[in-house]
Amino acid sequence: MASGFFAILDDIAFLMDDVALATKVATRKTAGILGDDLAVNAEKATGFLSERELPVLWAITKGSLVNKLIIVPVALLLSVFLPAAIKYILLLGGLYLAYEGVEKIIEYFFHRPQKEHTVIKETPQGSAEVNLENEKEKIKSAVTTDFILSIEIVIIALGSVAEQSIAIQIATVSAVALLATVGVYGIVAIIVRSDDAGYRLIKKSNDKGILSKLGHMLVKALPVMIKFLGAVGTVALLLVSGGIFVHNIEYFHHLFPALPATVKEFGIGLVMGLIVFLVASVFKKIFSKGKQTNEPQASH
């Protein structure tokens, strides 16, 4: 009986070793997309009042965990029973990421004055409602983007252990999904709170000495870091979406073979995003016109 018990422990130990090795390989393969995930979500988790940063980030983190709880079982089931569906899900996700990346670029170049004009401080009476709406919109957008990026992470991790047993697949994909959420949002939390750490260092040192200089550096570095991460996050959206199209559509895979992979993926992501943006804009105009024509009839 004792020998049977120790045999079970040996089996568990071997399984854990296999899972650890498989997780290491899967994490290495998903490192690029995790970096993109970090850049995108760091940009999305900023722009709030200091006391609201962590609550908003926690809300996004919970949404990310829910995403993983949905995606991991569905991905495992689809890989067993309907593997072809994964490709189409990835392509739809790629279209969404490309659209969001292009939307950010167009917003930056063509709608900046309007966005800068609507400052929350100028409307003190309605600031609470505006802040709440802003939070909800940003959380929703961040969780949706996280959902698409999570699909990519889970699928890549699953592909790296496709030849392993189902037990190793489940354990490895679950471990990578958890690491993705904890690691990414843990780093994002450090980034968005770095200015508060800087203010505390300045206060603690009475604005003198090395600690004060470090504090000032942290405070000044955050806006630069956020702008940089915002730009990197936008590029990451287009790179990830372009990568999805290149790896899942044969025509794109063989298109422009002389181009470096990064340039080709960015270009394809940009073009596909522009197409989706134009189509979405047309539908929005048609919908808004239909709404306007229906309003007088409703009042009649």
DSSP class of residue 164?
S
The span from the CA of 133 to the CA of 126, in Å, is 11
Q: Answer yes or no: is pLDDT of 56 > 70.
A: yes
* pLDDT tens per residue, range 198-213: 888 888 888 788 888 8
Banded model confidence at residue 13, pLDDT cuts 50, 70, 90: very low
Whether 4 maps to a domain, the answer reads: no
pLDDT, residue 280, reads 92
In terms of pLDDT, which residue wins out, 51 or 221? 221
Whether 179 maps to a domain, the answer reads: yes
Whether 45 maps to a domain, the answer reads: yes
Banded model confidence at residue 279, pLDDT cuts 50, 70, 90: very high
Structure tokens at 51: 């006391």
Whether 3 maps to a domain, the answer reads: no
Whether 9 maps to a domain, the answer reads: no
Q: What are phi and psi of 165, to 5 degrees?
A: -70, 160
Range of the domain at 109: 14-293
Mean pLDDT lowest among 126-130, 153-157, 248-252: 126-130
Whether 195 maps to a domain, the answer reads: yes
* pLDDT tens per residue, range 67-83: 999 999 998 888 888 88
pLDDT, residue 18, reads 56
Q: What are phi and psi of 219, to 5 degrees?
A: -65, -45
Cβ density class 186-217: b for 16+ within 10 Å, e for less: eebbebbbebbebeebbeeeeeeeebbeebee
Whether 300 maps to a domain, the answer reads: no
The span from the CA of 117 to the CA of 156, in Å, is 42
Whether 7 maps to a domain, the answer reads: no
- Predicted model pTM: 0.68
- Write down how long the chain is: 300
State the chain's mean pLDDT as an integer: 77
Q: What is the mean pLDDT of residues 240-264?
A: 88
Residues in CB range of 232: below 8 A, 6 or more apart: 39
Q: How many domains does the chain have?
A: 1
